[in-house]
Structure 1
Amino acid sequence: MGAMAGYDPRVAKAVVSNTLEQMGKPAAIPKMVNIFNQNTRETKIVPEAMLSSVGPGWVLTGEVSNTPVVSDADKILGLIKQRDALYAANPNDPNISVLNDLIKKGRGYETDPQAIAARAAKIKADEAAVANAANGILGEDDLNFMAAQALTGDQSVMQGLGYGQTGATNRANLRKAMNKMATDRGMAPQEVAAMNVQMFGDRAQARTIGTRTANVDMAVREADQFADLALEQSSKVPRGKWVPINSVMNAYASGSGDPEMRRFGAFNNSFLNAYATAVGKGTMTVEGRKHAEDMLSTADGPEAYKAVISALKQEMAAALASPEATSDALTRRIEGRGKETDTKPKKWIPGVGVK
């Protein structure tokens, strides 16, 4: 909202004169009304007598019932706000001195020129913030957050900043915020560039780890299920009929022998394939399958077989934990990048370099 859109000096003087007359007297505004600005979407309450001077865009939306009595302090506070708005619009407005004289009659109210200028600056800053938000211009908090993200090497923040003048302004402001933050942290331009390169590599590594973790996780889950089926089937093989796993696998491959034994062989075959994929980082390997077969061949009975299966499950859990640990380490490295540290052995000084 403009500081004094539609301002009329004659109206200001009338308000000042009226207030001077009413100082020290109980005063009540006889009738207040609600008004709404169709352009700025702002609402406020004003005396009905002031409707003709509120400026363009304002429409009446209703009366305010139970009008409160306005104290002297309220009057002075209102004049302070009016004086500050005048200063924000034009520091040389002659009505400012008139309002200052009136305000001085109210004890304890600020009339210091620096304080007036500070409040006027805040009025302008607030108006600029509202205008910028309406136009898609990023505020200081957003820019600082995005700058911190960019200084980890994540350049995705440079996307989606808008088009045309809005986009150009946002990009320029973000660059300024990044430069200031990097300088405050003592980061040289070379360090920022190195982080961008490192982030590019980290993204590729994260994709590889994600794919590998998914493949290993799926293989481990499959192997666990096949192992449970094989364990259940092993309990159906009488102790006196237990044969080495190699023989079980041969019976399965040839399709001969006891049906329960062949079923046992089928579950073992599925488990061996899934195990080899799990420990092979998502790709089945001959070496991985042979390792599991050699371990299973040492089982001389159901209990020994169960113990070997348990050991192989632990190996698969370790295979799954490896990419997960790598992913966690990568995440921690990214989260820690670009943060302030307690000790900074070097500092980037504009115009000087690293010192």
Structure 2
Amino acid sequence: MTTNAKHHEYDIELGLLQDVFERHSMEEAFLEPEITYDEIGEPKISQLNTARVFEIVVRWHAMKVLYKIYMNPSVRSHRKQVKTMIHPDMDTKLHECATEEAMPALTDSNQCVLCPERSYKEYPRFYLALTSHWVLVERIWLAKMTHYKRSSSWNKRYAELWDQWTDNQDRTLREKIELVEVVDFIWGYLGRNIFKGQFAQLSDWIAEADLAEFTISETPESAWASFIARVTQELRPPHIIELLILITWNSEMVWEIDRPNYLRQLGFLEEPQSVEEKDDTITPNTQFSLYELDTDVIYGLVDMVGSEDSYELCQKQWYAYKDTQWKNNMQGRILAYELTSQQLFELIMSAGNG
């Protein structure tokens, strides 16, 4: 394993951001100065010391747990039957996922044996997509937990984050599409399944003082959907693994922990909005929904067309492809394909044309 390979592109920054996150977990509540974000924003290879290399190696192997679940036949079969969260309909139809059958538990009898040759090709791409999104989750958390001197700086920070979320110029079209697949699996599929079954009651996870913000919805399903849309912005892969093991797949275990505080430490419902001077009237949108990641793919198509006027056409083609061909042709398979961005572009732009 070489730490300068493409799939380790985000590892140094991710490590620096996690250092800040851990500092907040261990100390009294405080806000970061703006300089913290600036220092982390351009990680340098000189920051790759022995401890950081060890951290990267550990993360690389630990995330194979999620890849192994991704490849599990029982999970793949179940996932094909349920909705994808990265879809424009999820803005209004996420509540329908509340009553879908929960994902199967992993047991000794249904564990999958990974093919070394396939894993060698697929896992680096899985890991790149995972860390690409994870580092964004950490950047958003840091943006929330920063004290700004001016509101214009606050707005600029979130404008940059929205560009990274919905029009990321650092990714190829193939990387954008692979990110949609991996994020939908980890955050969308596994993430929402954590909060089903025995501990599906929102009161288990939300402090009484905050509960009304969600239960004001007309139905329990709508309240659950509102909660899922918010909480998936805060979950990190290690927490998803931890919660799956401790709650979803070990329901007989008594997990003595303050669940609302657990989520709050991740940043759930934390909105300090600490600004010294208001020098503009704009308030940024701080809620980053998974379904909006489709926009990143659409802009990737627009870039390949070469005309900003093609947005509506590209949007139509991407949604047509997702609705008619994604589940059967790409979901669970795209990481195994050697398709170039150009080939994917041609495939998507021809959707519905015969």
Instruction: State the TM-score, normalizing by the size of structure 2.
Output: 0.20
Give the structure with higher Rg (CA).
1
Instruction: State the TM-score, normalizing by the size of structure 1.
Output: 0.20
User: Relative contact order: is structure 1 or structure 2 higher (C-alpha 8 Å, sep ≥ 6)?
Assistant: 2
